[in-house]
Amino acid sequence: MSGKVRSETTDAVGWIVFDHPERRNAISSHMWGELRKAVRAFAEDDSIRVVVMRGEGNEAFVSGADISQFEGVAGEKTSERLDSSGGDAFEELSRLEKPLIAMVQGYCIGGGLAVALCADLRYASTDASFGIPAARLGVGYGIGGIESLASVVGPSHAKEILYTARRYSAAEAFEMGMVNRVSEPAELRPLVEEIAQEIAGNAPLTVRSVKVLSRELQREPGRRDTRRIAEVIGACFASEDFGEGVKAFMEKRSPVFKGR
């Protein structure tokens, strides 16, 4: 079982760390399972208001799936194993109703980019690089991954990324809208920590409603969960936090939100 996924907490921020530096944080089958468990644990922890993903060390966020574990396995079995390894983890990431941030330094390639695209916000260092090398490996890239990529950068950029299999700089990724902001490597973590804490200080139920509505808006109108939409919006107005927000505004002070 090579590599691991660690969980750390700082105040109301949960950190998911891809820890496999000898392989540039490539994700093994074992790590996919640990990622799913880490996301679920933070989802169920009411003290955690924001989740941040990062790679161990400075060389990579995630350099992709650990392809070495599939050496000697060909055909449909490889596809099945790849799908079963990451599918549950991606499903868990998609269900998370808390803000998810990807802090990207170094390589963010293939499966690593797919993980980063699950985040609501992506912040990268100037030395980060992005790409999907599927066309150079001869593997089929799943429809979910293509849909996720196209929803962020648009169909034209998505096809260029997949057709060419080339690597893109952080500046190019920013131009495509793949990342929210680019900073010098030494400034990346302080930037992410500042933004995470700023989000964590806001009303959790309002932030959750924004995430839920954003997710539902990506679906076709007929497939949107209107009951869930009404539920999360209604929860905001029925909460103690709503009263606290109004009171703090009138008293010209910072509100103290409790998420209820």
145 and 79 in a common domain: yes
Q: How many domains does the chain have?
A: 2
Provide the pLDDT for residue 144: 87
DSSP letter string over 183-236? E-HHHHHHHHHHHHHHHHTS-HHHHHHHHHHHHHHTS-GGG--HHHHHHHHHHH
The token duo for 237 is 């107005």
| Cβ atoms < 10 Å from Cβ of 57 | 16
Domain assignment present for residue 258? The answer is no
User: Is 38 domain-assigned?
Assistant: yes
Q: Indicate whether 119 belongs to any domain.
A: yes
- Looking up residue 132, the CATH number of its domain turns out to be 3.90.226.10
Of residues 128, 11, 155, the one with CA closest to residue 63:
128
Please indicate, yes or no, whether residues 124 and 217 belong to a single structural domain of this protein. Answer: no
| Model confidence pLDDT, tens digit, residues 32-82 | 999 999 999 999 999 999 999 999 999 999 998 776 665 555 555 555 555
CB 18 within 8 A of CB 5: yes
Query: For 102-147, how does the pLDDT look when each residue is reduced to its tens digit (9 = 90+)?
Result: 999 999 999 999 999 999 999 999 999 999 999 998 888 888 889 9
Domain co-membership, 75 together with 185: yes
Q: Give the domain-ending residue among 183, 199, 215.
A: 199
Q: Is residue 259 part of a domain?
A: no
State pTM to two decimals. Answer: 0.92
Containing domain of residue 240, as a range?
203-250
β-pairing verdict for 168-169 and 129-131: antiparallel
